Structure 1
Amino acid sequence: MGNHQTLQNTLYFNQISEISQDIWNDLDCNNKLYFHPKYLAALEKNNSHLDFFYVVLKNEHNKAIAFASVQMIDFFIDSLQNENQSILTNIACIGRKLRILPREKPLKILNCGNTFVSGEHGIFIKSDQNKRKVLRKLAKAILKYSQQQYQDPDIFIIKDFLEESLPISNELISLGYYAFNVEPNMKLNVNSHWNSFDDYLNALKTKFRVKAKRALELSKGLKTIEITSKNIDDQLVSMTNLYQKVASKAYFNLGDFNLKTYKDLKEQFKEDYILKSYWLQNKMVGFLSGSIHENILDAHFVGIDYRYNKQFAIYQRMLYDYIDIAIKQKLDTINFARTASEIKSSVGAIPEHMTIYIRHKKTITNKFLKLFLLRIQPTEFHQKFPFKMGSNSV
Structure 2
Amino acid sequence: MKSIEKNHPEIGFFYIILIDKNSKPAAFASIQIVDFYFETVQNELKSQVQKLRNFGEKLHLFPKKKPLKLLICGNTFVSGEHGIFMEQHQDKKISIKKITKAILRYVNDNKNLTIDAFLLKDFTNESLFIADELKDYNYHPFSIEPNMVLNVDENWTNLADYLASMKTKFRVKAKKALQLSSELVIKDVTQENIEDQLPEMAALYKKVATKASFNLANFNLATYRDLKKSFGDAYVLKTYWLQNKIVGFMSGILHKNSLDAHFVGIDYELNRTYAIYQRMLYDYIDIAIEKKVKTINFGRTASEIKSSVGATPQDLTVYLRHKKSITNRILKLFLQRVQPTAFQQKFPFKNETNLHEK
Match of 2:72 among 111, 118, 123: 111
Matched, 1:167 2:129: yes
- List gaps (5 residues or longer) in structure 2: 354-358
Matched, 1:128 2:89: yes
Paired position in structure 1 for 2:12: 51
Distance 2:48 2:115 in 1: 14
Secondary structure in 1 matching 2:81: coil
Match of 2:208 among 217, 232, 246: 246
Match of 1:215 among 138, 158, 177: 177
Match of 1:282 among 244, 248, 251: 244
User: Where does 1:329-344 land on structure 2 (aligned, <5 Å)?
Assistant: 329-344=291-306
Paired position in structure 1 for 2:279: 317
Match of 2:224 among 262, 273, 278: 262
Paired position in structure 2 for 1:101: 62
> Aligned residues, how many?
351
- Aligned-residue CA RMSD (Å): 1.8
Maintained 8 Å contact 2:308/2:346: yes
Maintained 8 Å contact 1:152/1:361: no
Distance 2:53 2:340 in 1: 18
TM-aligned CA distance change 1:268 to 1:85, over 3 Å: same
Paired position in structure 2 for 1:385: 347
Maintained 8 Å contact 1:86/1:253: no
Maintained 8 Å contact 1:54/1:67: yes
Secondary structure in 1 matching 2:39: coil
**Displacement of 1:367 after TM fit?**
0.5
User: Where does 1:221-240 land on structure 2 (aligned, <5 Å)?
Assistant: 221-240=183-202
Secondary structure in 1 matching 2:261: strand
- Relative contact order (C-alpha < 8 Å, sep 6+): which is higher? 2
Paired position in structure 1 for 2:146: 184
- Structure 1 stretches of 4+ moved >4 Å: 82-94
Distance 1:345 1:98 in 2: 43
Match of 2:30 among 41, 49, 69: 69
- List gaps (5 residues or longer) in structure 1: 1-39
TM-aligned CA distance change 1:237 to 1:204, over 3 Å: same
Distance 2:218 2:54 in 1: 20
Maintained 8 Å contact 1:108/1:153: yes
Maintained 8 Å contact 1:54/1:68: yes
Distance 1:221 1:119 in 2: 34
Maintained 8 Å contact 1:78/1:89: no
> CA offsets per residue over residues 235-291 of structure 1, 9 Å max, x none?
111111111111111124210011111110101101110000001112111000000
Maintained 8 Å contact 2:249/2:264: yes
Match of 2:258 among 278, 292, 296: 296
> CA offsets per residue over residues 71-122 of structure 1, 9 Å max, x none?
1101223288x54766995554553355421113211000000000000001
Distance 1:175 1:380 in 2: 30
Secondary structure in 1 matching 2:64: coil
1:133 partner amino acid: I
Match of 1:141 among 102, 108, 111: 102
TM-aligned CA distance change 1:87 to 1:348, over 3 Å: farther
> CA offsets per residue over residues 329-356 of structure 1, 9 Å max, x none?
1110000000000000000000000000
Secondary structure in 2 matching 1:376: coil
Maintained 8 Å contact 1:272/1:291: yes
Secondary structure in 2 matching 1:171: helix
Secondary structure in 1 matching 2:329: helix
Matched, 1:359 2:321: yes
> CA offsets per residue over residues 271-326 of structure 1, 9 Å max, x none?
11000000111211100000010210000000011000100000000000000000
Distance 2:214 2:206 in 1: 14
1:132 partner amino acid: K
2:281 partner amino acid: L
**Which has the larger displacement, 139-148 or 194-203?**
139-148
**Displacement of 1:366 after TM fit?**
0.5
TM-aligned CA distance change 1:209 to 1:375, over 3 Å: same
TM-aligned CA distance change 1:303 to 1:84, over 3 Å: farther
Maintained 8 Å contact 1:84/1:248: no
TM-score (structure 1 length as normaliser): 0.86
Maintained 8 Å contact 2:40/2:214: no
TM-aligned CA distance change 1:313 to 1:389, over 3 Å: same
